[in-house]
Amino acid sequence: MPLPDPIQTYFAAQPPQDGDAFATAFAPDAIVHDEGHIHCGREEIRTWWQASKEKYHHRAEPLEATEAAGRTVVRARVSGNFPGSPAVLSFTFGLAGDRIAELEIS
C-alpha cells in the first residue's frame, strides 16, 4: 500500500540502525501521543521509539490507510511482547510538508 514517505519510514525503520532516518521523518517540533504520554521534538521521539522497541520487541504491519480531516489514519497489526498481542491499532498522522508533525496512537 502506498504511504507518504515519512509514514513509510515510520513503519519500516528498525532500531538502532535506522534511528537517524526515523527521527528525521518527524518535524523538529513534532508531537507523539502514545499510552497517555506526550513526546515532543525529534530527540525525545527517537528516545521513546528506541525504548519502546527495546521493551516490546514489536513490529507494526500496515493494513489500510485512509484520509480524514487532513490526517492520514493507518490501521496496523502490531505484534510483540505485550499483553493482547497481536492488536490492531490506529496511527493518526498529521503531516507538515514531508515530515510528521503529529502522531496519535490508539
Q: Annotate 19-87 with three-state secondary structure.
A: HHHHHHCEEEEEEEEECCEEEECHHHHHHHHHHHHHHHCCEEEEEEEEEECCEEEEEEEEECCCCCCCE
Element (H, E) at 89: strand 87-96
pLDDT tens digits, one per residue of 55-104: 999 999 999 999 999 999 999 999 999 999 999 999 999 999 999 999 99
In CATH, what is the architecture of 5-105? Answer: Roll (3.10)
Q: Say what the pLDDT of residue 1 is.
A: 80
User: What's the confidence (pLDDT) of residue 16?
Assistant: 86
Q: In the predicted model, is pLDDT for residue 106 greater than 90?
A: yes
36/20 Cα distance (integer angstroms): 25
pLDDT digits (tens, 9 = 90+) for 12-64: 999 888 999 999 999 999 999 999 999 999 999 999 999 999 999 999 999 99
Domain ranges for the chain: 5-105
Nearest residue to 15 via CA among 60, 40, 51, 62 = 51
